[in-house]
Structure 1
């Protein structure tokens, strides 16, 4: 069995997600919001964040996208599904578990704006502290800022394993 080193406990993660939900709620005021979840990684964070966002006009959709295969990034973002909701004239919040290179968020943001979204903001559970010359430089909302390590838990995985772990950790070799 592989060992893990806990970086953030489930309690710390849940507390921070509640804070993010309150910040996003306050920033939106009475403006309708559509959350677009990047699957599969964004699922766990987005579910908890959606519960913490207290808006009346709140919609949720998802898109499958990414650049990783077998824990290695190809550098090319693939959009593997389409949205059910039309982004035209909507205020969008893209939600993902981690901001790494920023290419996936940039590709989706640019696509949504081209489709007529009024605004596109981003929320991630973890923003890695690295340079991003080809992607989104920073998320509008980030739960935690962390060094560039391969993280697991809260949707982050190692070959599709460990997504379900409720905290944030790293595998110990």
Structure 2
């Protein structure tokens, strides 16, 4: 089983990348591939730019990564209540290669932020629009106050209640693939 995981942020110190990595580690007997959105940096999408350069190889590569996975875990960073520019841009480019960006794969959508809102706005946006991008959402979860609930030295959730809730969300992903629970 191959799990593709990434934080929907270009930050080198992304807490959402840390969360996605941790969630993917809960899937035993899986190969995990971690994506870095910095590897898919493209010009800002526009129809004019698309006419000029066509479908960029990096957007095609992003879709190929989605196709290669059995399941996908994404943790969304929130900028001003919405997607980060880095994620929105690759989503726009990739959707021109294949409207079903997530390739009908089972997905878990997560979000976190340093504040008590836990990036819930962007998570709601991603979950609501998932059907338009070929995602089969098996679970979603917002984690508030990241630094109070996640130990960055051990890269694990330190809040046991939240840890248990995340394990339940990830177990739905595993069940959808015919595996055993966390």
Ranked by relative contact order (alpha carbons within 8 Å, sequence separation 6 or more), the top structure is 1
Structure ranking higher in helix proportion: 2
Q: Same fold (TM over 0.5)?
A: no
User: What's the TM-score, normalizing by structure 2?
Assistant: 0.39
User: What's the TM-score, normalizing by structure 1?
Assistant: 0.40
Structure ranking higher in strand proportion: 1
